[in-house]
Amino acid sequence: MHGSQAVFHLVGISRELRLEIEDNLPGETVVEEVNGSGPLFSKAGKSGINILFLSPGRWENMDQEIRDELERYNQHLVLVLDDDSPQLKHHYNVSASFLGYLRRPVTRNALKSIRDKAREVQELYDDLHLMAREIVLERELLTRKNAQLEFLNRILTKTSQTLDLAEILQATAGEFETLLGTTGLAAVFWNHSENGMLAEIYLPEIQSKKIRQDWITHLIEVAKRFEGQAPKNYNYIPMNSGKNGLHQRPTPTRQILLPLQNRQSTFGALVLVSEEVLRLGRDQTTIINSAARHLALSIRNSLKYKAVKFEADFDGLTCINNRQNFDKKIRKELKRHQRQGASLSLIMLDLDHFKALNDMYGHLTGDMVLKKIGEILVNTVRETDFPARYGGEEFVILLPETNEEQAWLLGQRIRQKIGQTVFQFKDKKFSITASLGVASIKPGPLTPKEALVEQADQALYLSKFNGRNMVCTSAEVCMEQMVSH
Alpha-carbon distance of 99 to 79, in angstroms, equals: 8
- pLDDT tens figures, 212-229: 999 999 999 999 999 999
On whether both 297 and 362 belong to a single domain, the answer is: no
On whether both 181 and 307 belong to a single domain, the answer is: yes
Query: Does the residue 134 lie in any domain?
Result: no
Residue 90: the pLDDT is 47
Long-range (24+ apart) CB contacts under 8 A made by 27-36 are 28/3, 28/4, 28/115, 29/5, 29/111, 29/115, 30/5, 30/6, 31/7, 32/7, 32/8, 33/9, 34/9, 34/10
On whether both 360 and 229 belong to a single domain, the answer is: no
Its pTM stands at 0.59
| DSSP-assigned letters across all residues of 171-196 | HHHHHHHHHH---EEEEEEEEEETTE
> Looking at per-residue confidence, does 75 or 432 come out higher?
432
Domain end position, chosen among 268, 289, 312: 312
> Looking at per-residue confidence, does 421 or 50 come out higher?
421
Q: State how many domains the chain has.
A: 3
Alpha-carbon distance of 260 to 293, in angstroms, equals: 7
On whether both 216 and 308 belong to a single domain, the answer is: yes
Alpha-carbon distance of 478 to 398, in angstroms, equals: 21
Residue 35: the pLDDT is 66
Residue 207: the pLDDT is 82
**pLDDT at residue 407 greater than cutoff 90:** yes
Residue 43: the pLDDT is 46
**pLDDT at residue 450 greater than cutoff 80:** yes
**pLDDT at residue 403 greater than cutoff 90:** yes
- pLDDT tens figures, 310-319: 888 889 899 8
**pLDDT at residue 483 greater than cutoff 50:** no
> Looking at per-residue confidence, does 372 or 192 come out higher?
372
Q: Which of 191, 175, 186, 188 is nearest to 290 (CA)?
A: 175
Query: Does the residue 148 lie in any domain?
Result: no
On whether both 333 and 211 belong to a single domain, the answer is: no
On whether both 361 and 447 belong to a single domain, the answer is: yes
Kindly report the CATH number assigned to the domain that includes residue 233.
3.30.450
Average per-residue pLDDT in the chain? 86
Q: Given pLDDT bands bounded at 50, 70 and 90, which one contains residue 277?
A: confident
Whether the ω angle into residue 445 lies within 30 degrees of 0, i.e. cis, is no
On whether both 353 and 376 belong to a single domain, the answer is: yes
On whether both 398 and 469 belong to a single domain, the answer is: yes
Domain end position, chosen among 128, 146, 175: 128
Q: Given pLDDT bands bounded at 50, 70 and 90, which one contains residue 477?
A: low
The H or E element spanning position 237 is strand 233-239
Kindly report the CATH number assigned to the domain that includes residue 379.
3.30.70.270
Query: Does the residue 152 lie in any domain?
Result: no
Q: What is the mean predicted confidence (pLDDT) over 152-170?
A: 91
Q: What is the mean predicted confidence (pLDDT) over 363-384?
A: 94
On whether both 345 and 285 belong to a single domain, the answer is: no
Q: Which of 132-146, 186-200, 365-379 is the most confident on average?
A: 365-379
What is the domain range of residue 422? 323-484
- pLDDT tens figures, 93-123: 555 567 888 888 899 999 999 999 988 888 8
Residue 2: the pLDDT is 53
Residue 388: the pLDDT is 97
Query: Does the residue 57 lie in any domain?
Result: yes
Q: What is the mean predicted confidence (pLDDT) over 476-484?
A: 55
Flag the least confident range among 297-306, 355-364, 446-455: 446-455
Query: Does the residue 336 lie in any domain?
Result: yes
Phi-psi region of 258 (alpha: psi -120 to 50; beta: other; left: phi over 0): beta
On whether both 58 and 185 belong to a single domain, the answer is: no
